[in-house]
Structure 1
Amino acid sequence: MPLPLLKKVLPAHARLTLRKLYWLSRSWLYAGRKVYCLLCEGSFRTFLPFGTERRPQALCPRCHTVERHRLLWLFLQEKVKITEKPLEVLHMAPEPRMQTRLKGLLNLRYRSADLTSPVAMDHVDIQALPYPDGLFDLILCSHVLAHVPDDAKALQELRRVLKPDGQLLLQARLHPHAQTLENPQALTPQQRLQAYGQADRFRNFGQDFGQRVAAQGFSVEAMEYALSRTPEEQTRLGLGKKEIIFVATPLVHEAK
């Protein structure tokens, strides 16, 4: 059956299940001991190229996670103690494998949310979250804000539902230019494709990403956490180069 027709006939959950089975069936082709995926706990002879730029050693052959996913999971284990602490967790735009691991932790009260994702537990707009103030100890938001019409409003909402001593962990694709690129004339998907390289983007973040987050009432620490490992270990775990985790904590938590 042609792929476009398959997408029309099968529901999203069924398509995702088929993809997982396909990945699992092919992963044996890459059996080996040179690299190790922290998320599916599989060992392989190599990670695979991925992305439009074909990043080498990026994609796990079994669970299809990439560098930033593995790095975030390492950070959650070591710095957040995600497997030990009782935490209220909100996971925006959940990555399927990450969600599976987090949902399996009995110490967490876990919710995932997205506007349209079939794997998300709640279908919500990040710019108008339905959750009460100060509910979550931890919020994960990876590669989301570039795809939101008003990233400032989204950050304000994330701050509102975060506990005063909570943490918001952010990841984003950062472009080399100093300032974030936003074109107010790019209104249609085709215009956004031309402006940002993706039809569903509303901006290309520059090196000022941390400052943009801080402007919405956060203290922000940028952590290149892969550097906590030797170069050899970075390669073995497929952590990637220059992946940054932004750890944002509320400066003031104002009740509204």
Structure 2
Amino acid sequence: MEVDKRLTENFIYYKDTNIAFYQYGNPKGKAVVWLHGFLEDSRMWKYLIDDLPVSLRHIFIDLPGFGNSQCIAYVHTMEEMAEVVMRVLKELKVKKAALIGHSMGGYVALAFGEKYPETVRSMCLLHSTAAADTPEKIQNRNRGIELAKKNSELFAKTTFKGLFADWAHEQFAELIDEQAEIAGKTVVQGIVAALEGMKIRPDRTVLLHFAPFEIYHIAGDEDPVFKGQSLLEQFQAPKVRSYIIKAGHMSHIENRPELLKVLREFFKSL
């Protein structure tokens, strides 16, 4: 895939596979790790890069099976992906980092925070949840696996376009189509491995109450995946700061100004 010219591209070798990651900003600054969502890769963050503080060291990782990173196994558990994040940090000699995770990337961030709490400076969960999948959600994942095996491009494009608020489809039609094309190129094994991994992830809501680091949580008021108000109830914990903004599941496209406003607060807290 074509790499954004503003980024420095790097690879690590993990379990006989290449894992891609990209850097932006000050190599000596505090590290911020960006974790993309399902059917995305590091290119999702391109809409925000020009507004990110260059004093920080931004690290964008292509999770296994997405972007320029290869698949590791038939199932990519959130714990396995968290281990990939740790390997990247060790490669870069980063001892402490802030994590920003979008949707599935949030699941990975929580798995990382559970396993390596001493490495986390703070965490921002963007359109994500600490709860495990419901039985209904697991059924949907299983259907998604079967559909992806039959026609991965159609499944990916259709699923991706369903992540936006109704009003966003007209307002951001060109951007949505552009990103849906990227989603459609995701390899079928990357799709299946992520779905298999997400459906078996454990409930990590306890981490919201006992984590030794601060957690920011951003939800969309019209998120078709998660209901904003129900998520607020889940994230009512002493060390959690919750925000609801006007958006569906993809605020980096739907409401960049309001998302950046919250992220600036997050950066100031580092």
Q: TM-score range by the shorter chain?
A: 0.3 to 0.5
User: TM-score of the superposition, structure 1-length normalised?
Assistant: 0.37
Bigger relative CO (Cα 8 Å, ≥ 6 apart): 2
User: TM-score of the superposition, structure 2-length normalised?
Assistant: 0.36
- Determine which structure has more spread, i.e. the larger CA radius of gyration: 1
Between Structure 1 and Structure 2, which shows a larger proportion of strand residues? 1
Between Structure 1 and Structure 2, which shows a larger proportion of helix residues? 2
